[in-house]
Amino acid sequence: MIDKCKLASDRISYNGELTSASVSNILLNFDDLDVTRIIVTDSFCNVVYDSEVDGARKWQYALFPEIVTALEGNDVFYWNYHDSAMRSSAATPIFAYGKLLGCVYMMDYDTAQGTLISTLQNSILAITLVLQLILVVFSFVFSSTYSRRLRKIMSSIGVVREGDYSHKLQISGNDELNALSNEFNDLIQRLQTSENIRSQFVSDASHELNTPLASIKLLSDSILQNNMDPETINEFVGDIGKEADRLNRMSEKLLSLTRLDNLTPSDKPVTNIVPIIERTVRILSENARKNQIEVDMNLKADCWIAIPEDDMAQIIFNLVENGIKYNKKHGRLSIDLDIMDNSAVIKIADTGIGIPEESIHHIFERFYRVDKARSRLTGGSGLGLSIVKGLVEQNNGTIQANSVTGQGTIFTLRFPLYPQREETE
């Protein structure tokens, strides 16, 4: 548009005359101007030519900003879009021989371009709306999926808080929530392990404490129920004292949980197991008498092995007690101690109900009981043999069970002899 203005301005300037007739003559000879309105003014804004109105009605002054700017010697162009139409205007000064004659102003009102712009505007609006809609739908889907997964985590926390450590949290995906769920499952796994250890400790502790308590009860019952000579009473009272001491040591042992793990073989006290076996059998003799079980003992004079006294007492007590508990009326129980191949071999054999073949491999498992009804009647918990096996292995021994259903069971224990003692014997 500026170019068109300049072209007209050049022609007028070339003509050198700025009259209504000469200007309209020049401008009418342009076929390619193609603008809505042309105004030519002199240097004082007086309208010399206006393409829209005839000479009689033409304005005297045209004080458009474009004209004022052009009369200051500048080329000027404005455009704006309004009411679905594009309005553009331009003005350039007319100079003749270096002197400002006036200016040419052109204005074009283009509805075709306006329509194009408004179509473009509508399309952009529609695209923006669609994009916004997609954004809203996407955020809704994303936030609801995210909050569903968060709810899942919250409900898992609730389940675990109720104490169900076997619960597993399953979160799909490969993001932070998935990493969080893996961490959560790891944590639960650890909690479950420590809970298992805790409950194992509680049941083992109560079972271990139960043994000396039962001994004290049996010994005191024996003293009360039998007409004993003072010497035997003295012996039994002495045993009660020893059991009380054992109870005391056990509670100390339970307080320092790691004691057994920390003991190296050389730390372990060397014990003559013969008097321990004799004392334990004596404690249980009242039990045997009540169940009409005959108890035989065939022990070597002395037998030294590296084992804490309490562990040995606990092992023998459990095995002999079982031999009485799972025996038949008028049955027999024999306890033999022999030395073979540098080992102390203890055999505890009963003529009781025996253990079925399919159960023999399970009896050392925690809480395993062959006949649950009978075990419950005799107060069994299924823990005794698992504790026995644990203690035997901690003291470098082995335990083996052989049984024939209906005929009886033999438990064979083997412990390495304590070398120095064996040499000095």
State the minimum distance, in angstroms, from the CB of residue 319 to ligand ADP: 7
271 is an interface residue for ligand ADP by CB under 6 A: no
φ, ψ of residue 36 in degrees (nearest 5):
-80, -40
Q: CA-to-CA distance for 173 and 392, rounded, in angstroms?
A: 50
Q: Which of 106, 409, 416, 418 binds ligand ADP (CB under 6 A)?
A: 409
State the minimum distance, in angstroms, from the CB of residue 354 to ligand ADP: 6
Here's the x/- map for ligand ADP, 104-143, by CB under 6 A: it reads as ----------------------------------------
State the minimum distance, in angstroms, from the CB of residue 274 to ligand ADP: 22
Q: Parallel, antiparallel, or unpaired: how do β-strands 332-340 and 294-298 relate?
A: parallel
- Residue closer to ligand ADP, measured from CB, 285 or 409: 409
- Residue closer to ligand ADP, measured from CB, 279 or 389: 389
- Residue closer to ligand ADP, measured from CB, 198 or 361: 361
- Residue closer to ligand ADP, measured from CB, 304 or 326: 326
State the minimum distance, in angstroms, from the CB of residue 381 to ligand ADP: 5
- Residue closer to ligand ADP, measured from CB, 180 or 360: 360
Angle at 354 between CA 348 and CA 360, to 5 degrees: 90
Q: Which of 13, 92, 314, 322 binds ligand ADP (CB under 6 A)?
A: 322
326 is an interface residue for ligand ADP by CB under 6 A: yes
Q: Do the beta carbons of residue 413 and residue 396 sit within 8 Å?
A: no
Q: CA-to-CA distance for 386 and 366, rounded, in angstroms?
A: 5
Q: CA-to-CA distance for 2 and 403, rounded, in angstroms?
A: 118
φ, ψ of residue 348 in degrees (nearest 5):
-120, 110
- Residue closer to ligand ADP, measured from CB, 108 or 350: 350
State the minimum distance, in angstroms, from the CB of residue 208 to ligand ADP: 12
State the minimum distance, in angstroms, from the CB of residue 182 to ligand ADP: 38
State the minimum distance, in angstroms, from the CB of residue 320 to ligand ADP: 9
- Footprint (CB under 6 A) of ligand ADP, residues 334-393: 350, 352-355, 363, 368-371, 375, 380-386
State the minimum distance, in angstroms, from the CB of residue 375 to ligand ADP: 4
- Residue closer to ligand ADP, measured from CB, 288 or 370: 370
Q: CA-to-CA distance for 80 and 90, rounded, in angstroms?
A: 12
Sequence-ordered strand ranges (E) for 70-143: 76-82, 85-96, 99-110
φ, ψ of residue 29 in degrees (nearest 5):
-80, -10
13 is an interface residue for ligand ADP by CB under 6 A: no
The size of the interface with ligand ADP (CB under 6 A), counted in residues, is 23
- The H or E element spanning position 186 is helix 176-225
Q: Which residue is nearest to ligand ADP (CB)?
A: 380
Q: CA-to-CA distance for 342 and 303, rounded, in angstroms?
A: 11
**DSSP code string of 229-273:** -HHHHHHHHHHHHHHHHHHHHHHHHHHSTTHHHH--GGGSPEEEH
Q: CA-to-CA distance for 347 and 132, rounded, in angstroms?
A: 86
Q: Do the beta carbons of residue 13 and residue 103 sit within 8 Å?
A: no
- State the residues that interact with ligand ADP by CB under 6 A: 318, 322-323, 326, 350, 352-355, 363, 368-371, 375, 380-386, 409
